[in-house]
């Protein structure tokens, strides 16, 4: 359950984010969902609604277009992962954030494979939530520190990348240009570019040769 105190906030750190139709907050009970709503509103994030049932969320999503959906825990009638899939199917452009227990690494990996943009621990602090929302609303990906460390130990780089991204990363390691990668995988160079951008966001890389430098330094795990 997420029950945070607003005393964690300071007015000087208020963040104003341009979100189209607000954020939708979900949790196992209304108290927890309302805590998320209050915390986000205090930081300038508009919140469009809260719920605790996936069935109610499905109906809400039929008539609303959230900019982001935050699921604070498993819902009464659905897992967090199931809810993330529902959101993706109905609103693929919405940013998705989920709280996952860090001891369940296989589940956390499944969440990342689903394409969830933000991953937090139930004991994450308010500052972690705000940092996560700033990152995902700016188009990036956020994985809570202990989650990232544990996932890297268990899965290596593939913890954060899709199978296709790992395939491209391996070809980059072999020295192939984006054009040659596109030819090898029978996809457009534009698609390769999109994958490269996504990989750089997920891995926190910047710069024109950042991906090439990364694969030189990293020992890529076997798929």
Q: What is the mean pLDDT of each run of 10 residues along the chain (223 residues)?
A: 28 33 91 91 92 94 95 89 94 94 85 90 90 91 86 83 88 91 94 89 82 76 48
User: φ and ψ at 97, to 5 degrees?
Assistant: -130, 135
**Residue spans in the chain of domains classed CATH 1.10.10.10:** 161-217
Taking phi first (over 0 means left), then psi (-120 to 50 degrees means alpha), and beta for anything else, what does residue 15 get? Answer: beta
Neighbouring C-beta atoms of residue 91, cutoff 10 Å: 19
The CATH number given to 6-155 is 3.40.50.2300
DSSP class of 156: G
Q: What is the pTM of this model?
A: 0.72
**Residue spans in the chain of domains classed CATH 3.40.50.2300:** 6-155
Instruction: Quote the CA–CA distance of 64 and 47 in Å, as a whole number.
Output: 12
May I ask the CATH architecture of the domain 161-217? Orthogonal Bundle (1.10)
């Amino acid at each position: 359950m997420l029950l945070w105190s607003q005393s964690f906030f300071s007015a000087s750190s208020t963040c104003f984010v341009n979100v189209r139709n607000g954020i939708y907050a979900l949790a196992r009970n209304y108290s927890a969902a309302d805590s998320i709503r209050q915390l986000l509103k205090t930081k300038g994030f508009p919140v469009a609604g809260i719920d605790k049932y996936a069935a109610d969320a499905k109906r809400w999503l039929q008539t609303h277009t959230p900019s982001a959906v935050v699921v604070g825990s498993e819902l009464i009638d659905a897992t967090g992962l199931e809810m993330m899939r529902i959101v993706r199917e109905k609103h693929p452009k919405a940013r998705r954030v989920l709280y996952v227990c860090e001891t369940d690494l296989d589940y956390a990996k499944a969440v990342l494979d689903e394409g969830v943009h933000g991953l937090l621990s139930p004991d994450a602090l308010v500052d972690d939530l705000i940092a996560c929302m700033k990152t995902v609303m700016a188009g990036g990906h956020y994985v809570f520190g202990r989650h990232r460390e544990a996932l890297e130990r268990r899965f290596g780089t593939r913890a954060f990348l899709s199978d296709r991204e790992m395939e491209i990363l391996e070809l980059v390691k072999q020295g192939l240009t984006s054009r040659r990668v596109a030819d090898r995988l029978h996809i457009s160079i534009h698609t390769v570019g999109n994958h490269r951008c996504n990989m750089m966001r997920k891995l926190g890389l910047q710069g024109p040769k950042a991906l090439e430098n990364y694969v030189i330094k990293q020992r890529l795990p076997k798929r």
